Amino acid sequence: MKKIILPAYNKNILRAIYSLKVVDDKLPQPGKDEVLIKVHGAPCNPSDIAFMEGGYNVVKSLPAVPGFEGSGRIIDAGEGAEHLIGSKVSFFGQADCDGSWAEYVCVNKNEMVVLDNAMDMDQAACFAVNPFTARGLLDIALLRNNRTVVQNAAGGQVATFVRQMAGELNIQVIDIVRKRESMETLLKNGAQYVLLEDDEHFDKKLSELCLKLDARLAFDAVGGSLSGRIFNAMPDNAELVVYGGLSTKAISGVSTMDLIFNDKVISGFNLPAWRQQLDDDYFDEISHEMQQQFIQKNYQTRIQGSTGYENIVKGLTGYIRKMSEGKILIKPKV
Ligand SMILES: NC(=O)c1ccc[n+]([C@@H]2O[C@H](COP(=O)([O-])OP(=O)(O)OC[C@H]3O[C@@H](n4cnc5c(N)ncnc54)[C@H](OP(=O)(O)O)[C@@H]3O)[C@@H](O)[C@H]2O)c1
């Protein structure tokens, strides 16, 4: 089998990408409760970028095969998982072992979703993480009874799912983007409130909108000073939920007084932790509901293209230049 390996972490993402190598290896053997998947495809997500930079919370022994999620078919299984042979699956795993940028991968049977046969396998490659993340974030809004949410990196996939699911729940969204072209795309696609990060009146506009729409919950994928500006713009009792660190900067500029006197809080969201606290039946129900939305094409991950292993450098550099245009799928063969 062929697989892609990262020989060393590198803070310079371009150098990390250029260091990726395609190598041959023997087929891995599934252990107890594990399955062997013939991979259809796997996306490159921001978490993979952070992983290759050595800046993610998952650190693997090197050299390692990157890729935390993907789709494929189970072709073999260890003890306790034999009944799954033949199933189509989406998988997501962060253990210290080879990831999804390979022709074959072993994963634990608890790290995957068995798919309806009608699921498109490209869409399935991006199913296990982002749609569930959007759902988990909106569960917070429902629990807090917030009818308006603020989100940044609004041209990205998680944010796109948040906007769509929020619409179905009658939750309004205030979107924040960093590029004017993303603002135009969002407005063209029906987003109602879109702010540009570097608008000179950004803070004032956001604060007025938050007051007007009673926005007391924000989903933050960026970090850095933007987090502080969003936090400060929200009214009393607001919560900033941090789920990504795209800027790679520590959160800054947070009003100390707001934290002490105005009941405002900052919290974090992590998909695996959210999944762990869910009842299995509830998770299966959500998974089934969402698969039906994908099969009916109501939900779709934007995919800007696919790349074979031999063109991985071109594929990944293209993705990091224009992330809002969609995922790049890494496939054994295109
Ligand atoms: N906590 C969790 O469990 C969890 C789960 C899933 C995803 N995430 C996180 O969610 C975030 C979004 O993931 P995704 O898959 O939706 O991303 P994506 O579709 O690949 O898009 C990334 C988006 O972020 C924007 N962006 C990139 N760097 C930025 C920066 N420094 N400042 C502002 N905007 C920036 C991009 O805009 P441009 O087009 O302008 O580049 C693009 O719209 C990532 O941080 C990811 O790690 C977390």
pLDDT tens digits along 77-86: 999 999 999 9
Largest CA distance in the chain: 61
**Residue with the nearest Cα to atom 7 of ligand 1?**
130
For the chain, which domains are there? 2-127+301-331 (3.90.180.10), 130-272 (3.40.50.720)
Residue 281 CB: number of other CB atoms within 10 A?
8
Of 68-82, 126-140, 220-234, 319-333, the one with minimum mean pLDDT is 319-333
At 224, list the tokens.
């850095």
Read off the pLDDT of residues 274-292 as tens digits, 9 standing for 90 and up. Answer: 999 999 999 999 999 999 9
For position 313, what pLDDT does the model report? Answer: 96
Q: Whose CA is nearest to atom 2 of ligand 1?
A: 270
Q: How far apart are alpha carbons 277 and 136 in whole angstroms? A: 11
E strand or H helix that includes residue 82: none
**CA–centroid distance, residue 103 to ligand 1 (Å):** 26
Q: What separation in Å is there between the alpha carbon of 87 and the centre of ligand 1?
A: 31
Question: Could you tell me the distance, in angstroms and rounded to a whole number, from the CA of residue 86 to the centre of ligand 1?
Answer: 33
Q: Decide whether any atom of ligand 1 lies within 6 Å of the 126 Cβ.
A: no
Asked, as a colleague might, if the bond just before 63 is cis with ω within 30 of 0, I would say: yes
Q: Within 10 Å of residue 6's Cβ, how many Cβ atoms?
A: 24
Judge if the beta carbon of residue 246 lies within 6 A of ligand 1: yes
Residue 210, SS3 per DSSP: helix
In angstroms, what is the span from residue 219 Cα to ligand 1's centroid? Answer: 11
Regarding pTM above 0.85, the answer is: yes
Show the tokens assigned to 301.
């991950």
3-class secondary-structure state, position 106: strand
- Going by C-alpha positions, the residue among 198, 196, 193 that lies closest to residue 211 is 193
Q: What is the mean pLDDT of residues 95-110?
A: 96
Average pLDDT of the segment spanning 123-132: 98
The residue assigned the tokens 């900033």 is 240
Residue 334 has pLDDT above 90, yes or no: no
Q: How far is the CA of 47 from the centre of ligand 1 (A)?
A: 9
Residue 271 Cβ < 6 Å to ligand 1? yes
**Is the shortest distance between the CB of 324 and ligand 1 below 6 Å?**
yes
**Measured from the CB, is residue 155 less than 6 Å from ligand 1?**
yes
Q: Which of 323, 325, 328, 330 to mutate to test the pocket of ligand 1 (most atoms within 8 A of CB)?
A: 323
Atom of ligand 1 nearest to the CA of 319: 20
**Residue 14's pLDDT is what?**
97
In angstroms, what is the span from residue 85 Cα to ligand 1's centroid? 34
Q: Whose CA is nearest to atom 10 of ligand 1?
A: 244
Residue given tokens 């990196």 in the structure block: 153
Distance (angstroms) between ligand 1 centre and the Cα of 260 equals 30
Q: Are 207 and 200 in contact (CB under 8 A)?
A: no
Q: Is 162 in the pocket of ligand 1 (CB under 6 A)?
A: no
193-250 pLDDT, tens digit each: 999 999 999 999 999 999 999 999 999 999 999 999 999 999 999 999 999 999 999 9
**C-beta 160 within 6 A of ligand 1:** no
pLDDT at 114: 97
Question: What band does 324 get if pLDDT is binned at 50, 70 and 90?
Answer: confident
pLDDT at 290: 97
Mean pLDDT of the chain: 97
pLDDT greater than 90 at residue 333: no
Distance CA 325, CA 265 (A): 33
DSSP sequence for 297-318: TSS---EEEEEEGGGHHHHHHH
Share of the chain above pLDDT 90, in %: 99
State whether the beta carbon of 243 lies less than 6 angstroms from ligand 1: yes
pLDDT attached to residue 292:
98
Ligand 1 contact via 153 beta carbon (within 6 Å)? yes
CA of 83 to the centre of ligand 1 (A): 37
